[in-house]
Amino acid sequence: MMKRADNPKIQLNLGDPSMTLLHRAGVAGLWMTLKKLEKIYPTPAERIGNLTWLLTPHYINLDWEGQDFTVLDWLLKQSFQISDEGLISLTGLDSQNMDIQNQIIIHQGITATFTQHNKFFKSAGQQSKQLIIDGIQVRVDYKKAASYAHQHFAKHLCDQYGQLLKEPIGIRGWLYPGAVVRHYAFKEQTAFEEKAEYALALLFAPMACQYFVLRSHTEPSHTNYVLVIPEVIDLELYAHFLWCLGNLDYKHFHVSSLGDAGLKFLNYKTTQMPTSNFLKRCQIIFFSTKAWSEQQKTRAEIAIIELNSSVNYLYKLSCICFPECQIVLYKNQHYLLPSLIKGIIANNLAMGRSWWANWISFIKNKKSFKQFTDEYKGINKMIQDSEWDIEAQKLFIQACHEALRKIYAKIYSRTKEGEYAQIERENTRILSQLKRCTNTDNFRKFIAEFWGRAGQIAILEEHWMELLPLTTGIGNWKVARDLTFIAMASYPKNKITEVEVKPSQISELNTE
């Protein structure tokens, strides 16, 4: 145990009300670093300036002798290093002993979020690695590091005499994403400023954050990144949690939405400890390339995600229902793509909406609808295993399934031998009409025609009282529209063909 100073040079406390989530993450990163340095330099005599520290679950004390710059410069150079492969190596994460796939993700994540500009990250050229993922060779490219700003920041924390600054210092976006000068003409008055000890904490934030790759499903070569900032409430617990994640492989860090990134992080489980006891909330920041700044990814979206029992259950269910990742070939190169539907579900859950809300807005053409119907088994499992607040919603989906079965059967009954049943054309027509529903009257007209074309529907007759608010639009017509769409997306493909091989039903259907 390090000796406690009565008046430490620096004290960083999670309970400080002026600390943001990123500051707290920085304190966690520093805690982890000092814990690792204890093993490398067990006694203060082995460290510059007899550097000592006290580590508790909620605060850190730092103390030393001599010039502040000398000690802080030594600490930063010990903390932020570069591996033989040209990857950013973080002592607090024990990067050198991590799986190379995890090292690459951290490197790519930091250079795509914190240190994008070449002023803060000096590259030693491009590097490629061939990773074997699920038996397939995937090429990963990254910029080798020659140096980066974190290694040499001590001079900005100290005055010309090498003493820790008493006055606030200016903070740039590489240290705190989003911290920019509001008005360049008044940059001194509108710059983001921090006390030197808080700036020191922010330097270590990249160690405690998580980074996720978010690729376009239409252009997989187009890569964006999601930065996840944890809400740290216990430094020791969080450090052990993060160390346990050191050997996750490359595909674990691919997501299909912001919500997917946040909920995936909050749901990580380790063999040593459950996360549910202390990790409930995180902040997510989405970085993407804009037309006016193609060389740099800018902060495009930000959100806070909180975990509760319902969200936790439904997200875990979606992870069971849909594949974690698929490897696709695009322009002669392999890329990892997670399930699009799981990402949409996660976003809905993160924003406090029903998991099936507004799916229809993602349908642009036949190909995008096929992305949903290809995963009908997973959607069906979500429908069956979800806890429905209103049972009528589940009944409505079942009624739509029965209606579709009868409509498809009628199409087959009219199809002559050797002809192709126009099921796809019928789906396109139904979808087109559904997308044109913009108010209660539109939807009421649509659903009346839909039910009418199907004929007699047993579920509708048996549960007409429960279904009345949905079928008439008396309730929220958008809810009924969304339920109609997921009924179409989840309709089992095998049942479409089953109606074709049941000729005994055709005469019955033709009389309806």
What average pLDDT does the segment 494-508 reach?
45
User: Residue 213: its pLDDT value, please?
Assistant: 96
pLDDT recorded at residue 504 = 41
**Is the model's pLDDT at 271 over the cut of 60?**
no
Helix (H, G, I), strand (E, B) or coil at 423: helix
Length of the chain (residues): 512
Q: What is the dihedral of CA 199, 106, 264, 214, to 10 degrees?
A: 110
3-state secondary structure of 269: coil
For position 185, what pLDDT does the model report? 44
Q: How confident is the model at residue 296 (pLDDT cuts 50, 70, 90)?
A: low
Residue 287 pLDDT: 86
Q: DSSP assignment, residue 299?
A: E
Give the model's pLDDT for residue 508.
Answer: 40
Summarised one tens digit per residue, pLDDT across range 173-213 is: 788 886 554 444 445 544 678 999 999 999 999 999 999 99
CA distances from 162 to 5, 211, 306 (A): 21, 35, 43
Encode pLDDT of 351-362 as tens digits.
999 999 999 988
Q: What is the DSSP string of 5-51?
A: PSS-SEEEETT-TT--HHHHHHHHHHHHHHHHHHHHS-SGGGSGGG-
The whole-number pLDDT of residue 115 equals 92
Neighbours of 97 (CB within 10 A): 9
pLDDT band at 468 (very low <50, low <70, confident <90, very high): confident
Consecutive H or E run containing 320: helix 309-321
- Model pLDDT for residues 426-436, shown as the tens digit of each residue: 899 999 999 99
Cα of first residue to Cα of last residue in the chain, in angstroms, is 83
Task: Give the pLDDT mean for 287-298.
Answer: 63
What does the pLDDT read at residue 228? Answer: 97
List the structure tokens of 421. 């049943």
For 96-142, how does the pLDDT look when each residue is reduced to its tens digit (9 = 90+)? 899 899 999 999 999 999 998 888 999 999 999 999 999 999 999 99
Q: Residue 55: what pLDDT?
A: 97
In the chain, pLDDT over 70 holds for what percent of residues? 87
* pLDDT recorded at residue 179: 59
Q: At what angle do helices 309-321 and 258-266 cross, to 10 degrees?
A: 110
**% of the chain surpassing 90 pLDDT:** 68
Query: How much is the mean pLDDT over the chain?
Result: 88
Instruction: Report whether 448 contacts 468 (CB < 8 A).
Output: no
Predicted confidence at residue 393, as pLDDT, reads 93
Residue 469 has pLDDT above 50, yes or no: yes
pLDDT band for 165, please (50, 70, 90 cuts).
very high
For residue 437, pLDDT over 80 is answered with yes
- Residue 294: pLDDT band by 50, 70, 90 thresholds? low
Least confident stretch, 116-120, 218-222, 276-280, 364-368: 276-280
Name the helix (H) or strand (E) containing 431.
Answer: helix 423-435
pLDDT in the model for residue 420: 67
How many other CB atoms are found less than 10 A from the CB of residue 225?
23
Helix, strand, coil tally for the chain in percent (to 5): 50, 20, 30
- Residue 274's pLDDT band (boundaries 50, 70, 90)? low
pLDDT at 270: 66
Q: Residue range 359-382: average pLDDT?
A: 88
Chain segment 406-419, per-residue pLDDT in tens = 999 998 888 876 66
Query: Which residues partner with 511 through β-bridges?
Result: none
- pLDDT value of position 476: 83
This prediction's pTM: 0.88
DSSP for residue 186: G
How much is the pLDDT for 418?
Answer: 62
Distances (CA, A) of 170 to 111, 167, 240, 399: 21, 10, 33, 62
**What are the backbone dihedrals phi and psi of residue 328, each rounded to the nearest 5 degrees, phi first?**
-115, 150
**Amino acid 6: pLDDT:** 61
Once rounded to an integer, what is the mean pLDDT over residues 271-298?
A: 71
Structure-token pair, residue 180: 């920019």
Amino acid present at 50: N
CA gyration radius for the chain?
28
Residues 41-46, mean pLDDT to the nearest whole number = 96
Least confident interval from 3-17, 177-191, 267-281, 318-332: 177-191
The pLDDT assigned to 249 comes to: 85
Whether the pLDDT of residue 503 is over 50: the answer is no
DSSP state of 267: T
Residue 188: its pLDDT value, please?
52
**What is the spatial distance between Cα 291 and Cα 409, in angstroms, rounded to a whole number?**
49
pLDDT at 226 over 90: yes
Degrees to nearest 5, angle at CA 294 with 292 and 298: 80
Smallest CA-to-CA distance from 105 within 27, 267, 214, 263 is with: 214
Quick one: pLDDT at residue 42? 96
Is residue 472 very low, low, confident or very high in pLDDT (cuts 50, 70, 90)?
confident
